[in-house]
Amino acid sequence: MGVQAALGYEFRQPNAFQRANQKIASTKGGAWFFSKTVQTLDGAVHRLTRDRTSASEILAGLPVIRVTTTGRRSGQPRLAPLIAVPIGDDLALLGTNFGGTSTPAWVHNLVAEPRATAAYRDAEIDVVARPATAEEFEQVFTTGGGLYGGYEKYRERVTAREIKVFVLEEG
């Protein structure tokens, strides 16, 4: 059984409202706005719904998994709500950071310590994050672009750094 099945992860086609929000979020201004607000909103919605859904799922039709990494400097647990992209039976994470110039902290944490936990709704499992192969990298961006068009736009905007992609496997 892969990570998708173990978590019960599912992706549904977004409705018209969610598609409109995705288009806004994929613009430079929209990405900036959502990068500053969505984690706070996701946290509030997760608490209110007892982890059954997230703001990203309601607003954009994008299911969020909660990945807990170990801080590379602090050694403390660090929670990152992230959009996961199916790859085979597993899930992949893209370090796009909303198309921003900096690499997200969770990427540095997974490079330093690839063992983490992944949670979706009421399921939680131990995972190991490994760097995607070149072929998987392209597959994840192709699949991810079909789920959320912003990924390709983020990829075009990120030119000064390498976008890291990780495949989560049960561990």
What is the distance between the alpha carbons of residues 90 and 87, in angstroms, rounded to a whole number?
5
Confidence of residue 93 (pLDDT cuts 50, 70, 90): very high
What pLDDT was estimated at residue 35? 80
What pLDDT was estimated at residue 46? 78
User: 77-95: buried (b, 16+ CB within 10 Å) or exposed (e) per residue?
Assistant: ebebbbbbbbbeebbbbbb
Helix 134-147 and helix 150-157, axial crossing angle in degrees, nearest 10: 130
At 2-51, the pLDDT tens digits run 999 999 998 888 999 999 988 888 888 988 888 888 888 878 887 898 87
The closest of 169, 69, 67 to 109, measured between CA atoms, is 69
At 100-149, the pLDDT tens digits run 889 999 999 999 999 999 999 989 999 999 999 999 999 999 999 888 88
Rounded (5°) CA angle 18-102-93: 50
Is the domain spanning 3-170 CATH 2.30.110.10? The answer is yes
The closest of 3, 1, 7 to 169, measured between CA atoms, is 3
What pLDDT was estimated at residue 159? 85
CB 46 within 8 A of CB 58: no
List the chain domain ranges. 3-170
What is the distance between the alpha carbons of residues 99 and 97, in angstroms, rounded to a whole number?
5
pTM above 0.85, yes or no: yes
SS3 103: coil
At 146-163, the pLDDT tens digits run 888 888 888 888 888 999
